[in-house]
Structures are given as C-alpha cells and as structure tokens.
C-alpha cells in the first residue's frame, strides 16, 4: 500500500503498529504496518512494489510519516 493509503488507514484507526525491518529480497530496510484484523501491509510505491530504503533512518522517517509516534525496529 502507498504511504497515502496507509495514512488513511491509520487515521481510521485500522493500523496498530508500524515496523521497520531488514528486507528479505534485497539489502536495505522495509516498512510494514500491522492491521487491526491481524494482517501485515507493506509500504509500496504506486505500482505496488515494496519500497526498500538504503538505511534505517530513511525507513524510520517514512514509517513516522504514516502517523505513528513510534516505530518498532526489527533486526
């Protein structure tokens, strides 16, 4: 889901957590949100491709822009 879509879900109180974790597919970090229904939603670009950030700070900044006050870092 795009950042805008995730922000909308956050404002609807449908997301409970945001996480930054190492990418399984490439070197870098990805942002994922946990939905109230239990699913995980990855931050993607407009074409649905998961965004991978070169460093943890960049990924954390993008995670915070969804609306959360804190980000869980998984390593």
User: DSSP letter string over 16-47?
Assistant: EEEEEEE-SSSSSEEEEEEETTS-EEE-B-TT
Domain-wise residue ranges, the chain: 3-73
- Sheet of 72-73: strand order equals 40-42, 29-35, 15-22, 72-73
pLDDT for residue 26:
83
Q: CA-CA distance, 13 to 22, in Å (whole number)? A: 26
For the segment 50-58, the average pLDDT, to the nearest whole number, is: 96
pLDDT at 58 over 90: yes
Average confidence (pLDDT) over 31-45: 97
What does the pLDDT average to over 50-73? 96
Q: Give the chain's mean pLDDT.
A: 96
Q: Is the pLDDT of residue 75 over 90?
A: no
């Amino acid at each position: 889901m795009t950042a805008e879509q995730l922000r909308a879900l956050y404002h609807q109180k449908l997301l409970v957590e945001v996480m930054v974790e190492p990418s399984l597919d490439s070197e870098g970090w990805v942002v994922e949100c946990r939905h109230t229904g239990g699913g995980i939603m990855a931050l993607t670009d407009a074409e649905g491709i998961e965004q991978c950030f070169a460093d943890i700070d960049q990924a954390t900044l993008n995670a915070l822009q969804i609306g959360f006050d804190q980000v869980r870092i998984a390593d």
